[in-house]
Amino acid sequence: MKKRNLFTVALTCVIGMTALAACGPSSGGSVTKPPETDPDSWNSLESGKTVQITLAGRDVDTERANYLQFVNDFNATHDNIVVTLEWWTDGTAYNIALDGMGKNLPDVFMLNNIMFTSFAASGKLANIRPYVDESILDDMYVNGYEVYYFDHETKTCGITEDAGMYGLPKDQGPVALAYNEDKLRDYVARYNSTASDADKIDIDRVMSVSEPMTFDYFLEIGKKLKTVLGQDEYVCSGYDMQSVIYSNNANYFTDDTARNQAIDTENFAQAIEFVQNMYKEGILPAAGTVSSGGETVFSSGRSLFYFSATGPWKTKDYWQTCDFTWNIAPVPVGMAEGAVSTAYIGGMCYAISNNCPYKDAALELVKYLSTDITSQRTQYKRGQCIPNLISLAQEYATDQYDFIAMQTGKDDPCPTNRSVWIDVVDGVGGTKTDANGNEYTDKVTGRYRAESFTLDATWLNSLNQFMGGTTGSFGSFWEPKADGTWVNVREALAAYAPELQVALEENYDRLHRM
């Protein structure tokens, strides 16, 4: 529809702010079923009057510019709805602001998975399940939306008969192993030029999208490449702990109730030992020596690999900051039985405040951003996300219509292996065909961050502080002691396990008292 009066999006850019007093998760009172709302709030558009709603979001300037475009596109094509964008450039400030608002939230807002459980459990979010046609979900990845269901009786995320639905995916945020393709090819050639045939690095194995490198092979090639690095260069400038743990068929918990710890298991210990070995062998910069951050080291061209926050939302930044060809591969996989390459999935949703007086208008915006084909194409070509729609996966992975090429002005815009991100979110075990027409079994998948299954991340922060040596008596897992020895990972994790168990039980009890 052509809009009678085109409104210019108003943008509030919050650069700095005073931290608001946080409103605890239980502030909403006890909620045992999807919260009731004023029925009129789902019929606000029937009057024909113009409705104005607010969308709140956060992140760097490139993402703000993208959302200005998305909102302007929505306003230009929807009668009677005007969206105003409010923006925080700092994610931490944004989260503090949301928490401090209690139930007086923006009409529509981006909500990360760490905060979702507490917001849903306390009745702050509108239940959209009765108003979302199931046909909309047929073209979406199940793990992209099932995490935004919440059952108030069992206090768990996921689809059940009684669960409400409290958001649609903004993005799934899969990560991958990023690499500097220009430098990697060059340095592998340098190493192989003097190596015996048996000792040469197989560049095709390193960059394979279908056969993830193992932990052992990544360490092996890392030690070899280290010998040809220049000054102030690194094999890998950063890693994602959860991707390492998940990729060795391990987890922090015994199941998704997150009630019982599993850090004293063999698979978990092996994963942590792999991280420790990367430090031991100099694959990673020595702990605390890279002041500029691992991502900056990678984007400035000083490392071969980086697998931390290398998700599709980074492409818009890397197009501007990386003056080299970069690409992605699956995260390395451990040797434990049943292990597959399992990348961390961050993800956010678009949620609607339960106090929003114009919920039907708000849902139109949420569906447009999350499920509209034109909107999804605009988002992926601008380097914002992978498409939420399964029907767009192939065209995105191959840039079938040159949308990304036209956006970037390059024939082969980075990363060319975008299919890896699709592999992360579409599950594991299916048969696929590579760029050369060869069939292979999908050995790549993903899992949402561990904090998504708990009320907050306090337990994880405490565990990371223990492994980093700032608490406890064992010292840092990531650097040698004064006598040159390293922390015994198994012994230290076994010692900390009871403390984590107490923290998880307290977290579980707090959630079930809400």
Q: Report d(CA 96, CA 112) in Å as an integer.
A: 12
Q: Quick one: 302 and 240 in the same domain?
A: yes
Percent of the residues in the chain that have a pLDDT greater than 90, as a whole number:
82
Q: Quick one: 339 and 476 in the same domain?
A: yes
DSSP string, 48-86: ---EEEEEEEE--HHHHHHHHHHHHHHHHH-TTEEEEEE
In sequence order, the 6+-apart residues with CB closer than 8 A to the CB of 209 are 329, 330, 417, 419, 420, 423, 434
Check residue 103 and report its DSSP letter: T
CB atoms within 10 A of CB 459: 25
**409 occurs within a structural domain:** no
pTM beyond cutoff 0.85? yes
Q: Give the pLDDT of residue 1.
A: 38
**354 occurs within a structural domain:** yes
Give the domain-ending residue among 375, 391, 407: 391
Give the count of domains, the chain.
Answer: 2
Q: What is the CATH number of the domain that holds 292?
A: 3.40.190.10
Q: Report d(CA 219, CA 221) in Å as an integer.
A: 6
Q: Quick one: 219 and 162 in the same domain?
A: no
Q: Report d(CA 104, CA 112) in Å as an integer.
A: 18
DSSP string, 121-160: HTT-B---GGGS-HHHHTTB-HHHHGGGEEETTTTEES--
Q: Quick one: 65 and 154 in the same domain?
A: yes
Q: Quick one: 331 and 363 in the same domain?
A: no
**311 occurs within a structural domain:** yes
Q: Quick one: 184 and 130 in the same domain?
A: no
Q: Give the pLDDT of residue 485.
A: 97
Q: Residue 172: which of 427, 408, 407 has the closest Cα?
A: 427
The tens place of each residue's pLDDT in the chain, 514 residues long, gives: 333 333 333 344 333 333 333 333 434 445 667 777 888 899 999 999 999 999 999 998 889 999 999 999 999 999 999 999 999 999 999 999 999 999 999 999 999 988 999 999 999 999 999 999 989 999 999 989 999 999 999 999 999 999 999 999 999 899 999 999 999 999 999 999 999 999 999 999 999 999 999 999 999 999 999 999 999 999 999 999 999 999 999 999 999 999 999 999 999 999 999 999 999 999 999 987 765 689 999 999 999 999 887 899 999 999 999 999 999 999 999 999 999 999 999 889 999 999 999 999 999 999 999 999 999 999 999 999 999 999 999 999 999 999 999 999 999 999 999 999 999 999 898 888 877 788 888 999 999 999 999 999 999 999 999 999 999 999 999 999 999 999 999 999 999 999 999 999 999 999 988 8
Task: Express each pLDDT in 358-371 by its tens digit.
Answer: 999 999 999 999 99
Q: Quick one: 338 and 191 in the same domain?
A: yes
Q: Quick one: 133 and 223 in the same domain?
A: no
Phi, psi of 164 (to 5 degrees): -85, 160
- Give me the domain span that covers residue 301: 177-345+448-512
